[in-house]
Amino acid sequence: MALLEIAGASKRFSAKTAVDEVSLSVERGAFFALLGPSGCGKTTLLRMIAGFERPDSGRVVIDGADVTGLPPYARPVNMMFQSYALFPHMDVAANIAFGLRQERMDRRHIAARVEEMLALVQMEDYARRRPHELSGGQRQRVALARALARMPKLLLLDEPLAALDRKLRAATRLELIRIQERVGITFLVVTHDQEEALSMATCVGIMDRGRLMQTGAPAEIYERPASRFVAGFVGEVNLFEGELTAGFNCLALAVTGLHEPIPLPSGTGLPEGTAAALAVRPEKLVLSHAPLVGFAIAATVSSIGYLGGGSIIHLATPQGWVLKAYLPGTAAGSLGRGTPVWATWPPQEGVVLTQ
């Protein structure tokens, strides 16, 4: 049985629906990332699980127990706040001990657990410091230790890396994964950073305007997006809007401005005449200096962005479209601004979207 089960949860704030009929289940031991643009309702959903917001309808069930009506202090859940929310009048050890003291644990056990948590986040030498004497990264570790000290069934992390600089963020990401594996607690992370979500999580949920659009493993979300929104929000994408039509040997997409329809992957199961979009990731695009046999789009290179591990190429087509292609390594070396190219891709690499 899933550890966290949300059934049809909705929340309105005056005129705005923040969370709209969201149903979600998170498996025990998962590292679940809730990803979405700011204002999509992901933080409201997180606050519902923590108990800071009461859903207008729907239920929140944690480990088989309905907690919908329970106050935050009675839930087997702890949260790491985006601002960390460390108590400024207490030192690091007292911050970590705060939750344990509410459980009327005896002093020796509390001290032992605090030691254990400090070791877990490698902050043993800072037990007597006040939060304002710590760097951002250190505060983040203390906040994590404090939230983990009570050994919650579910740890909620609200934008855990947003306040850190880029270099520290990458290291902390690995650190979070290490700690999650060590303690075995289910993590639910809210983030607007897709790279963060895809690299840390075992399962990702995409939210948009209060609705949960898609859940799945990171690779599944990226390779098989279920909607135009998910395809566009997670990673870069080339989208072709058109209508399904019969092509040569297969179903194809008739797009205004293209002489021949774009061949589609087999097995879409959709009837001809359906309005649909084809999503193609930049790294699936193959560029060629000479015209190719079969389907290809003529374009000229408008810009080349070198990223270190590869280059992102922007192509301008006569139809006025901008296509994005990603070439690994130094493959873009033979291209310059204005170089005419033909772009194509294997049909099975495209994803047909109707939503």
Partner 1 sequence: MTGLGRIGRLMLIGVPFVWLTLFFLLPLLIVVKISLAESSIGIPPYTPLFATDGGGLKLHATLANFALIAGDDLYLRAYLGSLGNAALTTAFCLVIGYPVAHAIARSQGARRQLLLFLVVLPFWTSFLIRVYAWIAILEPNGLLNQSLMALGLIAAPLPLLNNQFSVQLGLVYSYLPFMILPLYGSLSGLDQSLVEAAADLGARPLRIFLGVILPLTLPGIAAGSLLVLIPAIGEFVIPDLLGGPDTLMIGKVLWDEFFNNRDWPVAAAVAVVLVAALAIPVLAAQRFLEREHAA
Residues in touch with partner 1 (CB under 8 A): 50-52, 71-73, 77-79, 81, 83, 85-89, 98-99, 102-103, 130, 132, 146-147, 150
Q: How many CB atoms lie within 10 A of CB 88?
A: 9
Smaller CB separation from partner 1, 109 or 337: 109
What secondary structure does DSSP assign to 194-216, as a single string? HHHHHHH-SEEEEEETTEEEEEE
Closest CA to 116 of 151, 87, 166: 151
Comparing CB distances to partner 1, the nearer of 38 and 249 is 38
CB of 77 to partner 1, least distance (A): 8
Cβ proximity of 143 and 65 under 8 Å: no
* Nearer of residues 87 and 248 to partner 1, judged by Cβ: 87
Q: How far is the CB of 28 from partner 1 (least distance, A)?
A: 21
CB of 99 to partner 1, least distance (A): 3
Pairing of strands 16-26, 251-254: unpaired
DSSP state of 134: S
Minimum distance from CB of 302 to partner 1 (Å)? 46
Tokens 């030498």 -> residue:
125
Q: How far is the CB of 93 from partner 1 (least distance, A)?
A: 14
Q: What whole-number distance in Å separates Cα of residue 132 and Cα of residue 88?
A: 7
Which lies closer to partner 1 via its Cβ, residue 158 or residue 208?
Answer: 158
The pairs formed by 254-257 with CB atoms below 8 angstroms and a separation of 24 or more are 257/319, 257/321
Smaller CB separation from partner 1, 89 or 167: 89
